[in-house]
Amino acid sequence: MELFNSALGRNITFVRPPYFIISGFIGLPNMKYYYVFLFFVYIVSLLGNAAVITVIYLDPNLRTPKYIAVFNLVFVDLLGSTALVPKVIDIFLFNHNIIPYNDCLTFLFFCYICLSMQSFNLVALSYDRLVAIIFPLHYQVKMTYKFMFSLIASFWIFNITAVLIAVGLITRLSFCKSLVVNSFFCDHGQIYRLACNDNFPNDVLSFLYPVFLFWFPLVFILLSYLYILYTLAKVATLQQGVKAFKTCLAHLSLVVIYFTPLLVTFTLMEKIHPNYRIINLSLTSVIPSMLNPIIYVLQTQEIKVSMKKILKSCLKNKIRARKPPTM
């Protein structure tokens, strides 16, 4: 900081810091146990998502447009958890809370990409359910490999562009005050508020980012399910409606788990204590990644059938390998 102060004394208005300091929780004892809990969640998430990816890859019956979106969802869960949790463990369990400037921006990029891609994956899955229930006879025509690949690719391009803009706007900021980031990772909102020069573009982006990457996807998902319920109420019997809606339960569970803590955080951002905000965001970043594969395994019939087939095949192969060769 002395270097920064002396530089400002020589009328140098732009200061790029060599590092940021991640503060984590404020004044809470024994928080190392919380980070151990996050590590446990990460291991479960790693195993669960890897299992779902393996099942989708090995079973030709799951190579459908819907499971392109599911595959992308579990891939993003794996990428996001791996980008976040090991670094958080390193920062707070091993006291490496000083992060070089460029490393911090890279950390921010991957965390935000994965967090926002989860919401767009849920949009893709909700559109798949909408077409499957509203237009069952035209599902194969409307929901093709090409369409789903294009949809997922457009989401990636949009998210990468949005996050790159956020990172680019940080690089234009001058930091001459505190370098302590009041979060558990390199959080865009907490970083740009430390700047000494004009941060109005960052302020605008911090408003637009949740609107386009969280609120719009949530509104689309809610409207799609309202339309599904309206259509089922008109054309289906109660038993048929319940049976059709059961196919949406796994997806709806993911929506509730993912969006509920985000809604709390973004709605009460200025009113909640920083510690609660950190808990909310950290759990939002890791809990959905852990629960997504569990929910899909328990509530999706195709996944359960495929896992049983693969396990039976592995068991048969082990039994054959143990049998002595016949003479």
* The pLDDT of residue 8: 42
Considering only 112-121, 139-148, 304-313, which range has the smallest mean pLDDT?
304-313
C-alpha span between 207 and 83 (Å, rounded)? 24
CB 205 within 8 A of CB 173: no
pLDDT at residue 311 above 50?
yes
Least confident of 53-62, 83-92, 99-108, 147-156: 53-62
pLDDT digits (tens, 9 = 90+) for 129-147: 999 988 888 899 999 999 9
Checking if the pLDDT of 194 tops 90, the result is yes
Map residue 89 onto helix, strand or coil: helix
| Percent share of the chain, pLDDT over 70 | 92
How much is the pLDDT for 115? 87
pLDDT, average across residues 183-202 = 92
Residues 119 and 211: beta-carbon distance below 8 Å: no
Which 3 state secondary structure label does DSSP give 181? strand
CATH topology of domain 2-310: Rhopdopsin 7-helix transmembrane proteins (1.20.1070)
Stretch 91-117: mean pLDDT = 93
Mean pLDDT (whole number) for 67-79: 92
Confidence of residue 165 (pLDDT cuts 50, 70, 90): very high
Give me the chain's average pLDDT, please. 86
Say yes or no to pLDDT of 275 above 90.
Answer: no
pLDDT tens string 40-65: 999 999 999 998 898 888 888 888 88
Identify the band that residue 203 occupies on the pLDDT scale cut at 50, 70 and 90.
very high
Q: Could you tell me where the DSSP H helices lie in the chain?
A: 2-9, 32-58, 65-93, 101-134, 139-142, 145-171, 188-192, 200-210, 216-235, 238-246, 249-267, 274-299, 301-322
Position 225 scores a pLDDT of 93
What integer pLDDT is reported at residue 101 of this predicted model? 96
Domain ranges within the chain, ordered by starting residue: 2-310
Q: For the segment 214-267, what is each residue's pLDDT rounded down to a tens digit? A: 999 999 999 999 999 888 888 767 787 788 788 788 888 889 888 988 877 777
pLDDT band at 100 (very low <50, low <70, confident <90, very high): very high
More confident residue, 242 or 89: 89
Quick check: 315 pLDDT over 90?
Answer: no
**Parallel/antiparallel/unpaired status of strands 180-181 and 19-22:** parallel
Residue 270 has pLDDT above 70, yes or no: no
CB-CB contact of 167 with 192 (8 Å) = no
Confidence band of 294 (pLDDT split at 50, 70, 90): confident
